[in-house]
Amino acid sequence: MGRQLQPTTFQRRPDTHDPSGLLVAWFTQPAGAIIQLVQEAELTAAMGAWLADRGCQELLTRFPGPTTLTIILDLRLMTSRQTAVRGLLVETAKKIAPRLEMGFVIPPAGSGKVYLASLHAATAALRAFGAKVSVAESLSQLCQERGIRPV
């Protein structure tokens, strides 16, 4: 088994997870979510589809109406991703862009310059569609700076 993150983001179980249990989410205040791989794994099309469909639906049900959202996608333990995932995540970001106060992507640990450049290019493209998204380095720093806590 590869590296794992202890479920210590908030010292409690996540609010939801994909069928594999590897992609989890905590709903937060300010309104939003932290979505995280909990052990080294490939980000699969099935995970991306769950996030784009059920995960997004659960988030919007939890925070209905015009409430703006802060979403953190923590990919530190992603070892690779299936090709279809990028499109699923981009379409999801475009769909929720009107509600997105800010979105952050924490890249995989040890990401190379080419991957980071493509991630920065993807976030720039999403900003062109109105999604306020940026690349971040530290989950703990984001939580501290933005006062993010569990619901």
- Which of 45-49, 54-58, 109-113 has the least mean pLDDT? 109-113
Residue 85 placed within a domain: yes
Average of per-residue pLDDT across 44-66: 95
Residue 147 has a CB neighbour count (10 Å cut-off) of: 9
Q: Which of the pair, 1 or 70, is modelled with greater confidence?
A: 70
Residue 4 lies in a domain: no
In a domain? residue 1? no
Higher confidence at residue 139 or residue 9? Answer: 139
9 assigned to some structural domain: no
In a domain, 10, yes or no: no
Contact residues for 9 (Cβ-Cβ < 8 A; gap 6+):
26, 34, 36, 139
For residue range 86-144, list pLDDT tens digits in order.
Answer: 899 888 888 888 999 999 999 998 899 999 998 999 899 888 877 899 999 999 999 99
Look up the domain containing 58 and give its range.
16-150
Report if pTM > 0.75. Answer: yes
Residue 24, beta-bridge partner list: 17, 36
The answer to whether residue 77 sits within a structural domain is yes
CATH number of the CATH domain containing 62: 3.30.750.24
Domain count of the fold of the chain? 1
Is the residue at 7 inside a domain? no
pLDDT band at 7, cuts 50/70/90? very low
State the burial class of residue 68 (Cβ atoms within 10 Å of its Cβ: 0-12, 13-18, 19+): middle
Q: What is the pLDDT of residue 60?
A: 95
Mean pLDDT of the chain: 90
| 2 domain-assigned | no
